Structure 1
């Protein structure tokens, strides 16, 4: 299956933060992201969530990721937010509720191929008893 997605990552950079550390927080989870610096934030773009998916599998948080993805889904894609400090450590921690005082990492995934639900299944497959379900076993 060929996946065609555009991932846009926006993250505020506060005056009290070291910009390189904020950039590292993003590249730890999205290593192929291409950055541009704006006055008070970074905007990065990518065309893959493969490395991010690997972290979700390693942390065994596929069900949480699916819930966040579907909560932020629409006809064109899905959005979610991540906490900066865990990202700096290479960990995924979804931001729910009020934003962190330094701001959260905002991620928007626009899916062109195949469709939103199929791509979510690819990034964070459904699980049974915490283990990914092989689509051929369904």
Structure 2
């Protein structure tokens, strides 16, 4: 699948936090992003969610991710928030409700190609009993039938 997306990632850096640790949290789930420090927060951009999608597959949280993405989608894209501490460990944990005391990692995804729903299908495909419904079509070249995650 060919797609064109802009992903903006923003994470607050509080006085009690080490900036490099917050940057590591962002890079652990978005390795293609390079955060820069601006006015008490880290801002990063990337144009892919492939590595993030890989984590969703590995953690077997595709259904949860789809629900979060679809609930927070518009015609232009979707947004979501992640827990900073979990991200520091390389784990995706969606933030719901009130933000953590230290703040969450806020992610905005603007989709230019294809449409938003098709891109969500690509990042977090529908599942049947936890397995992607059509992993060859949805997961493209990254699908490995020998991989026990499938």
What range is the shorter-chain TM-score in? over 0.9
Provide runs of 4+ in structure 1 moved above 2 Å.
none
Q: Which has the higher contact order (CA 8 A, sep 6+)?
A: 1
Q: Deviations over 1:75-117 (max 9, x none)?
A: 1000000000000000000000000000000000000000000
Unmatched segments (≥5 aa) in structure 1: none
Query: What residue ranges of structure 2 are gaps of 5+ in the alignment?
Result: 138-150
Aligned residues: 137
**2:148 alignment partner in structure 1:** none
Normalising by the residue count of structure 2, what TM-score does the alignment of the two structures yield? 0.89
Aligned to 1:97: 97
Trace 1:96-135 onto structure 2 (pairs within 5 A).
96-134=96-134
Matches within 5 A, 1:22-33: 22-33=22-33
How far off is 1:37 after superposition?
Answer: 1.1
TM-score by length of 1: 0.96
How far has the Cα of 1:35 moved from its partner?
Answer: 2.1
Deviation at 1:36, TM superposition (A): 2.0
Alignment of 1:1-138 (within 5 A): 1-134=1-134
